[in-house]
Amino acid sequence: MNIGGVNLKQTSGVSDPGACCDACTTTSGCAGFTFVKRGNDGSPPQCWLKSSVGALTPDKSVISGAVEGPSPPSPPSPPSPPSPPSPPSPCTPGSTPLACHGRLGLGGQFGTQLVDQLGKAVQLRGMSVFNPGGYDDCITSDSVQFLVSNWGISVLRIPMSGDPGVYNQRAQYVDYARDAGIYAIVDFHYTGSTPVIDDNARNFWREMATRFKDYDNVFYETFNEPGPDADWNADIKPFHEAMLNIIRPIDPHAIVLCGTRRWSQMVWQVPGNEVQPSKNVMYVRHSYAATHKDYDEVSALLDKIPIFMSEWGVCDASGSGNIDGGSAQTWVDMMAAKSHNPHGVTISWANWGYDDKGESCAALQPGACPAHDWDRTSQSGNMVKGYLKESPEAVFGGLTGFVV
């Protein structure tokens, strides 16, 4: 959208709308901004600061915004007819995360922050479905809508395999998420093995990209958890790049999540050796509170690479065992950029898991799903419901942002 008004000045060296917004907030007399995207002819992006703002007009080549506070008086100008009222913001009370934020991308100070269609920082929080073929009675259109309306989730992670019987069943969960106004992660869910570039993987990602290329709410997680014997340079990175070569000609816009070595632990192997092409690529970290305490090591990377915690639990790495509430809260606070996060970049997350298996990380008590008792929560489920209700809005990396 293009915003009317009087130009104050052009700011050079600005490459994304978040930085253009930052320039406005630190410039005296700036009331708004217009960021002109890079042209198809290769012309560089432009950032225009405005001393006053007016009506919004549709223009896909620019992103505009206004900052709070009164603007200085504009220089005298001939009288003109009053502008029509600006259209209401999509982020109105009661609007869904998808309606509010639209297609997501990356931006912010370091280019590692998940941002919405207007360049505002966003942190998604939600739940993961169980392993492919397990506990599918827990996921219905009603249960997903219940999680959105009552727990406040904004993302649903959907583990799949290359078996058409599995992915044809679970592909409908993406529609449940879209119908409920939230985001969905399509997860190629293989665990602890070395990724193999074969027809199983290629055909899966060709099918998924073709199905969901017109969906604004879909992320693609190309491999869940590469094992400890998988080498980042020799095995994992080449696999992700091969899958990008399948996905990108079909869906050039969706964010792609790339698993890392040793059950998606070793995100520190990525900086300086990122997957290419790197546009809209994030890196996967998985953490279980009773096993993993490396909050600072993970957050230290947030000025270098974008990270998505597509699976984490309050228990140990087996999915069961002891629950560690103190460590779980520390992870939640770090991901929300409240503590242990020097760069102020949030990490979006999906909790493991929304199922009623008799283990400590299951959010529901055994028997809840067959009874359609979507709120018969376990200790883990009670904790996660609390985390989902924390901090409705915050400020991240110099950008006004939303926790959704």
Tell which residue, 213, 208, 206, 311, has the closest CA to residue 254. 213
Question: From the candidates 207, 241, 297, 311, which is the catalytic residue?
Answer: 311
Tell which residue, 255, 209, 249, has the closest CA to residue 103. 255
Q: How far is CA 309 from the centre of its chain?
A: 9
Tell which residue, 49, 87, 183, 116, has the closest CA to residue 401. 116
Dist CA 198 CA 282 (whole Å): 23
Tell which residue, 359, 260, 340, 348, has the closest CA to residue 297. 340
Dist CA 64 CA 58 (whole Å): 11
Tell which residue, 279, 243, 278, 275, has the closest CA to residue 260. 275
Quote the longest CA-to-CA distance of the chain.
Answer: 73
- The DSSP bridge partners found for residue 187 are 159, 221
Active-site annotation holds for 311: yes
Tell which residue, 249, 347, 366, 361, has the closest CA to residue 307. 347
Active-site annotation holds for 225: yes
Report the b/e string of 352-376 with b at 16+ CB within 10 A.
bbbbbbebbbbbbbeebbeeeebeb
Question: From the candidates 68, 207, 221, 225, which is the catalytic residue?
Answer: 225
Tell which residue, 314, 321, 247, has the closest CA to residue 277. 247
Tell which residue, 82, 108, 101, has the closest CA to residue 17. 108
- Annotated catalytic residues are 225, 311
